[in-house]
Amino acid sequence: MLKFFRKIRQKLLSESKFSKYLIYAVGEILLVVIGILIALQINNWNENKKERILENNLINKISINIDDDINEYQKILLAEDNRRAKIDSFLIIVRNPLEFKTSDLDKLYKSLWFFERFTPNKSALTNLISSGKINIIQNENLLENILDYYKTIDEQKASVDEALASYSRNQIGPYLMRFDFMDSEVVKKYRKRKSLIEYNQDPAIENLVMARIQLMDTQKNYYERQINNAVKLLEQIEMDLNN
């Protein structure tokens, strides 16, 4: 091709047709420029295609993490429902000391002490942020909702989850250490156990338990609300991927 254009230039020069040569030269330059522009456009298109593929992969990984979060939330809620049932049984026994025995509390007191703490799967978002490519997500509304979702989890962990953990450690735990059913075998061996009537007459028991139930209910409401947020976010992600 270059040899062909060279022959045309040489012919025009040999025939002293300078004006035609000049027009030809300008046309040849324009042709080269157009070729370069087309090549750049193709390169940009290829790069954009690569970025969209990377974007879809990242968003898909985030959706997998969020789906894991939903499963974890549901798992914790189920465990907390079981624990709540034991706490309700604990209250029933303490409130009705003539119908039960102190030993009926042996398998229930741990439900007052133990607690669940949610930990999200943030691996995809963490990798995205650390890579410095967070702006690769073109849908600004989607990106904002993803960041808000994880921000809400951080706030939940710092408030509701920490409140329940702190109360269990600093209030419930120390108080339960005064109960003689913490280690029933030791109690049976060395001293007589308290009667349920004695526990029933201690108002701190019911006050502590009711406060614990309120914290559990607050945590449950947060978790259920966050599950709804996660479901809506997954729907938005699916729509974005389909588009």
pLDDT, tens digit (0-9, with 9 covering 90-100), for 92-133: 999 999 999 888 888 888 888 888 889 999 999 998 888 888
pLDDT value of residue 152: 93
Sign of the CA dihedral with 166 first, then 171, 172, and 177 last: positive
Encoded amino acid at 80, one letter:
E
What average pLDDT does range 208-234 have in this prediction? 95
pLDDT at 225 over 90: yes
pLDDT at 45 over 60: yes
Between 36 and 221, where is the model more confident?
Answer: 221
For a pLDDT cut of 90, what percent of the chain falls above it?
A: 48
Domain locations in the chain as residue ranges: 59-242
pLDDT at 22 over 70: no
Residue 199, token pair as written in the block: 């526990």
Residue with structure tokens 């193709």? Answer: 42
Q: Of 168, 193, 166, which is closest to residue 179 (Cα–Cα)?
A: 193
Query: Mean pLDDT, the chain, as a whole number?
Result: 83
At 12, the pLDDT band (50, 70, 90 cuts) reads: very low
The residues near 93 (Cβ < 8 Å, ≥ 6 apart) are 100, 104, 105, 108, 196
Element (H, E) at 205: helix 203-242
